[in-house]
Structure 1
Amino acid sequence: MTEFLGSVWWMIVSLGLLVTIHEFGHYWVARRCGIKVLRFSVGFGKPLWSRRDRHGTEFAIAAIPLGGYVKMLDEREVEVHPHERGQAFNHKTVWQRIAVVAAGPLANLLLCMLLLWAMFVIGKQDYSATVGRATGMAQAAGLQGGERIVSVDGRSVATVGEASMALTAAAMDRHDVTLQVVDAQERQHQRVLPLSQLPAGFDERRVAPLAGINWQFWLQPALVDRLVDDSAVRGVLQPGDLIVAVDGERIDAADQVYPAVQALGKRGGPGMIDLLRGGERLALEVTPRQGLDGNRQPVWQLGIGFSESHAPAYDTVLKYGAFAAVPVAIGETGRMAADSLGMMRRIVTGSASLQNVSGPVTIARVANVSAQRGLDWFLQFLALLSLSLCIINLLPIPVLDGGHLLYYLIELVKGSPLSERAMAAGQFVGLALLAGLMGLAFYNDILGLVTR
Structure 2
Amino acid sequence: MNLLQTLLAFMVALGSLVIIHELGHYSIARLCGVKVLRFSVGMGKVIYSRKFGPDQTEWAISILPLGGYVKMLDKREQPDLQLSDADLKREFTNQSVWRRIAIVAAGPAANFLLAILIFSGLYWYGVPEPAARLRAPAEQTVAFQAGVRGGELVTAINGKAVQGWSDLRWQLVQLSVEKTTAKIDLERANDGPAGGNRMSTITIPSTALGTDDLEGDFLGKLGLGLARSKTTLGRVEAGGAGQQAGLQSGDRILTVNGNVVADGDAFVNLVRASPATALNLTLLRAGQEVAAIVTPASIVREGKSIGQIKVEIASGVEMVTLRAAPVQAVSQAVVRTWDSSILQLKMLGKVITGEASIKNISGPITIADYAGQTARIGLVTYLGFIAAISIGLGVMNLLPIPVLDGGLLMYYSLEVLTGRPVSERVGQLGQRLGIGLLMTLMMVAVFNDIVRLVT
TM range (shorter): 0.7 to 0.9
Structure 2 residue 437 is matched with structure 1 residue 433: yes
1:93 corresponds to which residue? 96
Structure 2 residue 27 is matched with structure 1 residue 28: yes
Whichever residue aligns with residue 112 of structure 2, its letter is: L
Whichever residue aligns with residue 341 of structure 1, its letter is: L
The CA deviation string for residues 372-392 of structure 1, in whole angstroms up to 9 with x for no partner, is 222211111111111111100
Change (3 A) 1:76 1:202: closer
Q: Distance in 2 between matches of 1:203 and 1:449?
A: 16
1:274 corresponds to which residue? 282
Change (3 A) 1:293 1:170: farther
**Superposition pairs for residues 211-250 of structure 1, below 5 Å?**
211-217=222-228, 221=231, 223=233, 225-226=235-236, 229=239, 231=241, 234-250=244-260
Whichever residue aligns with residue 291 of structure 2, its letter is: L
TM-score by length of 2: 0.86
Alpha-carbon deviation of 1:125?
1.4
8 Å contact from structure 1 (residues 227, 305) kept in 2: yes
**Superposition pairs for residues 39-50 of structure 1, below 5 Å?**
39-44=38-43, 45-50=45-50
The CA deviation string for residues 13-40 of structure 1, in whole angstroms up to 9 with x for no partner, is 1111111111111111111112111111
1:127 corresponds to which residue? 130
8 Å contact from structure 2 (residues 13, 386) kept in 1: yes
Indicate which of 201, 205, 217 corresponds to 1:194.
205
Change (3 A) 1:230 1:120: closer
8 Å contact from structure 2 (residues 36, 70) kept in 1: yes
8 Å contact from structure 1 (residues 224, 304) kept in 2: no
**Superposition pairs for residues 272-421 of structure 1, below 5 Å?**
273-278=281-286, 280-284=287-291, 286=293, 294=300, 304-307=309-312, 310=314, 312=316, 315-421=319-425
8 Å contact from structure 2 (residues 124, 323) kept in 1: yes
Q: Distance in 2 between matches of 1:262 and 1:82?
A: 77
Q: Distance in 2 between matches of 1:314 and 1:339?
A: 29
Alpha-carbon deviation of 1:117?
1.1
Q: Distance in 2 between matches of 1:260 and 1:107?
A: 51
The CA deviation string for residues 341-371 of structure 1, in whole angstroms up to 9 with x for no partner, is 2322232222322122111111212112212
Structure 2 residue 150 is matched with structure 1 residue 140: no
Change (3 A) 1:183 1:58: same
Q: Which moved more, 1:416-425 or 1:185-194?
A: 185-194
TM-score by length of 1: 0.87
Change (3 A) 1:291 1:298: farther
Unmatched segments (≥5 aa) in structure 1:
none
2:193 corresponds to which residue? none
2:218 corresponds to which residue? 207
Say which SS state the counterpart of residue 192 (structure 1) adopts.
strand
Q: Distance in 1 between matches of 2:408 and 2:271?
A: 65
Whichever residue aligns with residue 351 of structure 1, its letter is: E
Q: Distance in 2 between matches of 1:382 and 1:232?
A: 43
Say which SS state the counterpart of residue 187 (structure 1) adopts.
strand
1:51 corresponds to which residue? 51
8 Å contact from structure 2 (residues 253, 281) kept in 1: yes
Whichever residue aligns with residue 199 of structure 2, its letter is: Q
Alpha-carbon deviation of 1:402?
0.2
8 Å contact from structure 2 (residues 264, 315) kept in 1: no
1:118 corresponds to which residue? 121
Q: What is the aligned-residue identity percentage?
A: 34
Say which SS state the counterpart of residue 134 (structure 1) adopts.
coil
Unmatched segments (≥5 aa) in structure 2:
190-195
Change (3 A) 1:396 1:147: same
The CA deviation string for residues 175-199 of structure 1, in whole angstroms up to 9 with x for no partner, is 5321111223443211112352579
Q: Distance in 2 between matches of 1:230 and 1:52?
A: 66
Alpha-carbon deviation of 1:250?
1.4
8 Å contact from structure 2 (residues 231, 267) kept in 1: no
